[in-house]
Amino acid sequence: MLRLSNICKSYQMGEYTVHALRNVSLTVEHGEFIAIIGTSGSGKSTLMHTIGLLDRPDSGSYEIDGKNVTGLSDTQTARLRNRTIGFIFQQFNLLQRASALENVNLPLLYSGKTSEGHRGQKVLERVGLGDRMHHRPNELSGGQQQRVAIARSLVNNPSIILADEPTGNLDSKSAKDIMALFRALHRQGLTVILVTHDVEVAEHADRIITIRDGEIQEDRRNETPIVQDAAREEVLELLKEGARKRTWLAVFSEGMALTTQSLRALWNNKARTFLSALGILIGVAAVITMVSLAMGAKASVKEQLSRLGSNLLSIRTSSRNSQGVRLQAGQISRMTLEDATAVSQIPSVKRDSARIRADVQLQYGAKNWPSEASGVSPNYGPMRAEVPLLGRYITDEDVTRRAQVAVIGMTPLRSLFGENENPIGKTIRINRRSYEIVGVLPERGSSAYGDQDDTIRIPVTTAMYRLFGKRYIDGIDAEIDTIENMPQAQEDILTLLSTRHDRNPKDKPFDIRNMAEIQEAMGSTTKIMSILLASIAGISLIVGGIGIMNIMLVSVTERTREIGLRKAIGARRQDIMAQFLIEALAISLLGGLSGLGLGIGLSLGMAQGAGWPMQISNLSVVVAFGFSVFIGIFFGLWPAMKASKLDPIEALRYE
Ligand code: ADP
Ligand code: MG
């Protein structure tokens, strides 16, 4: 069944070479019960690991049922370890946090037979532990723990049992029980090979091989072994690697079992799991909150700008020539009310308003307030969306009559009038002249241009002729019918005004500014701010991911022995990899989902509590969450790869 020829294995210890095995040749038949005996350091374990496919020899050949197994892939040897060989260790190597039954059922996970959990119960009964199934290893005696380990080696119906010093950690009574158990298993047709340094233990076997300094010294047989054909066929079938197709159901239940395993590992380390998820939690919450804040700010700036009116052109007299040199007073082309009327005749101009402003002193009773007054036409109201809160706006009649009426802004209103005083119909003084308040302007709040409510509107003619004593206006605001017509309208107005003032349009005697341009400039500022905020939050997500990687690496190191054991009982690379990836993913999902809740909660809280203009963006929620999952996989991958590549024997030896 097993044939080892000229197996050599040596370890390099600095300049010194330890020959653990020298030219060992050994043949084992089906159904044999063999004891390998030798002093400590004679190479027994090395030989056992070679037989159990946990270690590869330096040279020599190894055949199982006539098939060379030295060149098999990781997956193929994992399969053989899982189904053909049952390995029992001196230190039992049980998972401390799992019950006896769960420990016994572990190999089923790697053979895709998780649904056959009842097998664990059967073998536990067979080793006499039917009443201890739900106890954890630390609640069992040494002898009982070794029985659990034996049950685990039996659960996949192996044809060979390999035991390395199985009684080394046991008292003599338990040791005798365990040997009796091996004898019973042997009688049922199993091939049993055990290693011991104890001559008394070795006497239980049918064949005793003595090993010293890596060489076989003596091979003493007691009786002729029985060959079992059933077991042989099982090995042969397993060697036809990959021939057997796995059903989707098996793959699914295997995945479920792996997931349960990983989640349990996380649950057992609650504090650590929470701390590593915290990084992702903060990152996701930060992304969502910051983006909500930026989007809200952007929307509110946009709204403020749109209140200034879009499609608007602002026309001023230019005080510089085309070379940028300041013009003298006589050279400046002053605009008049007739210019405003002429501009309104251009077809693409929907409406326009003359505009003149100056600083003024307001007075009501004993109260004074310095402010600014704008002389405007009735059109100015609808163009700037100035719908009076109270009373009315400036009318055409006011303009014709040069009426001494005013529409007052919120800031002077608050300063001059008391809480409950209705200002409509009251008379205030503007630069010592009396004006009747006919309306109140809507509240605008502050902007980049200062307090927009610290102003007062009066008819443009009143401002020119009565208040400021001027024959000209400061400028004209014109509303164009569509955005597309704006550039053409800009040119038409420049040509018209230049002709009216006998100037060359090329000298740009008038300065025409486009509100849409101003809006765009403001919009791009808020965009930069959003990107800045989002990238700061993104960085915190990456830091969170590195936190996960850190924890997973610690977890891999800490569980090196566990990984070694899992591999020894048949876990393939991808099984170990999947286990750690699922753990990393679960942590980031946990962090991501809680971060999602926290981020949305914070955004709503800030909107409700502080009254900030928050806008939760669906995209940011999806991106932040998706990114956290990606980070889980990305940063979990390296520790998972590291774990999956561990050599089973090296890992088991790790302290
Ligand atoms: P036994 O099980 O008979 O006590 P081992 O097979 O464990 O002996 O070891 C045989 C020899 O190989 C010993 O001298 C031991 O020091 C050496 N050896 C075993 N494993 C390693 C290793 N990983 N690195 C270096 N030397 C080793
Ligand atoms: Mg040993």
Distance between CA atoms of residues 188 and 191, nearest Å: 9
Report d(CA 162, CA 215) in Å as an integer: 19
Q: Cβ distance 546 to 585 under 8 Å?
A: no
Looking at the predicted structure, is the pLDDT value of residue 251 above 50?
yes
**Ligand 2 centre distance from Cα of residue 227 (Å):** 29
| Average model confidence (pLDDT) across the chain | 84
Looking at the domain assignment, is residue 258 inside a domain? no
Domain assignment of residue 514, yes or no: no
Q: Rg for the chain (alpha carbons), in Å?
A: 45
Return the closest-CA partner of residue 31 out of 190, 172, 156.
Answer: 190
Does residue 331 lie in a domain region?
yes
Confidence of residue 241 (pLDDT cuts 50, 70, 90): very low
Written as one letter, the residue type at 601 is: G
Reduced DSSP (H G I as helix, E B as strand, rest coil) percent helix, strand, coil of the chain, to 5: 50, 20, 30
The pLDDT-based confidence of 127 (bands split at 50, 70, 90) is: confident
**CA–CA distance, 5 with 51 (Å, rounded to integer):** 12
pLDDT band at 597 (very low <50, low <70, confident <90, very high): very high
CATH code at position 20: 3.40.50.300
Residue 324, pLDDT above cutoff 70: no
Pocket-testing residue among 7, 11, 40, 197, ligand 1, by greatest number of atoms within 8 A of Cβ? 11
230 touches 84 (CB < 8 A): no
CA distances for 323 relative to 496, 507, 513, 643, angstroms: 22, 8, 18, 73
Distance CA 42, CA 406 (A): 110
Q: Which atom of ligand 1 is nearest to the CA of 40?
A: 4
User: In terms of domains, do 491 and 558 share one?
Assistant: no
Query: What local confidence, expressed as pLDDT, does residue 441 receive?
Result: 93
**∠ Cα 359 361 365 (to 5°):** 160
Residue 59 DSSP SS3: strand
Same domain, 504 and 526: no
- Alpha-carbon distance 430 to 361, whole Å? 6
Mean pLDDT of the 85-90 span: 88
Q: What confidence score (pLDDT) does residue 522 get?
A: 67
| Residue 132 domain-assigned (yes or no) | yes
CA–CA separation, 379 and 479 (whole Å): 10
Does the beta carbon of 13 lie inside 6 Å of ligand 1? yes
Element (H, E) at 195: strand 191-196
Cβ of 333 closer than 6 Å to ligand 1, yes or no, is: no
Residue 228 has pLDDT above 50, yes or no: no
DSSP 431-490: TTEEEEEEEEPPP--EETTEETTS-EEEEHHIIIIIII--SSBSEEEEEES-GGGHHHHH
Whether 416 maps to a domain, the answer reads yes
Q: How far is the CA of 5 from the centre of ligand 1 (A)?
A: 20
Query: Is 20 near ligand 1, meaning CB less than 6 Å away?
Result: yes
Q: Which residues contact 208 (CB under 8 A, 6 or more apart)?
A: 34, 35, 37, 202, 218, 219, 220, 222
Tell whether 503 and 527 lie within a shared domain. Answer: no
What the block records as the tokens of 92 is: 């039992």
| Closest ligand, as measured to the CA of 166 | 2
Q: Partners of 10 in the beta sheet? A: 19
Task: Note the pLDDT of residue 242.
Answer: 38
Is the minimum distance from the CB of 628 to ligand 1 under 6 angstroms?
no
Q: What is the DSSP letter of 138?
A: G
Same domain membership, residue 577 and residue 475: no
How buried is residue 550: exposed, middle or buried, by Cβ count under 10 Å (0-12/13-18/19+)? middle
Tell which one of 12, 24, 42, 46 to mutate to probe ligand 1, the residue whose CB is within 8 A of the most ligand atoms.
46
DSSP 327: P
Give mean pLDDT, residues 34-51: 91
What b/e readout covers 499-520, taking b as 16+ CB neighbours within 10 angstroms? Answer: eebebeeeeebbebebbbeebe
Query: Does residue 38 sit within a domain?
Result: yes
**Residue of 501, 464, 494 whose CA lies nearest to 478:** 494
Q: Is the pLDDT of residue 243 over 70?
A: no
Query: Do both 543 and 449 map to the same domain?
Result: no
Distance CA 64, CA 67 (A): 5
455 close to ligand 1 (CB < 6 Angstrom): no
* Statement to judge: residues 492 and 565 lie in one domain: no
**Number of domains present in the structure of the chain:** 3
In the chain, DSSP finds a helix count (H) and a strand count (E) of 21, 22
Residue 3 confidence (pLDDT): 92
- By CB atoms closer than 10 A (0-12, 13-18, 19+), residue 430 is buried
Please report where in the chains the tokens 């653990």 appear, as a residue: 20
- Domain range for residue 572? 265-302+521-653
Q: Do 291 and 402 share a domain, yes or no?
A: no
Residue with tokens 């003595």: 210
* CA 217 to ligand 2 center in whole angstroms: 17
Q: Nearest Cα to 362, choosing from 414, 431, 411?
A: 431
Residues 493, 533 within the same domain: no
CA distance 447 to 106: 68
Domain boundary among 481, 508, 535: 508
Token pair for residue 229?
């054909």
How many A from CA of 4 to the centre of ligand 2? 19
- DSSP-derived letter for residue 361 is E
**pLDDT at position 229:** 37
| pLDDT at residue 27, as a whole number | 92
**Residue ending a domain, choose from 212, 244, 276:** 244
In what side-by-side order are the strands of the sheet with 67-68? 16-28, 2-13, 59-64, 67-68
User: Does the pLDDT value for residue 516 go beyond 80?
Assistant: no
Q: Which of 119, 216, 55 is nearest to 650 (CA)?
A: 55
Q: How many CA atoms lie within 13 A of 408 on its CB side?
A: 28
Q: How confident is the model at residue 322 (pLDDT cuts 50, 70, 90)?
A: low
Residue 63, pLDDT > 70, answer: yes
CA distance 333 to 510: 8
Measured CA to CA, the distance from residue 308 to residue 322 in angstroms comes to 29
Same domain, 81 and 230: yes
Asked if residues 262 and 590 have their Cβ atoms less than 8 Å apart, the reply is: no
CA of 168 to the centre of ligand 2 (A): 10
The DSSP secondary-structure symbol of 335 reads: B
Which residue's alpha carbon is at the smallest distance from atom 10 of ligand 1? Answer: 43
Report the distance separating Cα 393 and Cα 387, nearest Å.
8
Q: What is the DSSP letter of 240?
A: S
Helix ranges (H only) for 471-611 are 486-500, 515-558, 560-568, 573-605
Is 226 found in the same domain as 117? yes
Q: According to the model, what pLDDT value does residue 517 have? A: 67
Ligand closest to 36 (CA) is 1
**Residue 296 sits in the same domain as residue 205:** no
Are 437 and 489 found together in one domain? yes
Q: Give the count of beta carbons closer than 10 Å to the beta carbon of residue 343.
A: 25
Residue 319 placed within a domain = no
Quick one: CA torsion of 323, 355, 496, 486, rounded to 10 degrees? 90
pLDDT at 306: 65
Mean pLDDT of 102-123: 82
Token duo for residue 30: 């089906």
CB of 350 shorter than 6 A to ligand 1: no
Spatial neighbors of 440 by CB under 8 A, at least 6 apart, are: 388, 389, 390, 391, 407, 408, 409, 410, 413, 423, 424
Ligand 1 lined by 38 (C-beta under 6 Å): yes
Q: Give the ligand 1 atom nearest the CA of 48.
A: 6
Q: pLDDT tens across 358-387, in order?
A: 999 999 989 999 999 999 999 999 888 888
Residue 443 has a CB neighbour count (10 Å cut-off) of 12
Find out whether 30 and 191 touch, Cβ atoms under 8 Å. yes
Q: Is residue 497 part of a domain?
A: yes
- 225 pLDDT above the threshold of 60: no
CA 216 to the chain's CA centroid = 58
CA distance 103 to 94: 6
Average pLDDT over every residue of 393-412: 94
Q: State which of 458, 480, 508 marks the end of a domain.
A: 508
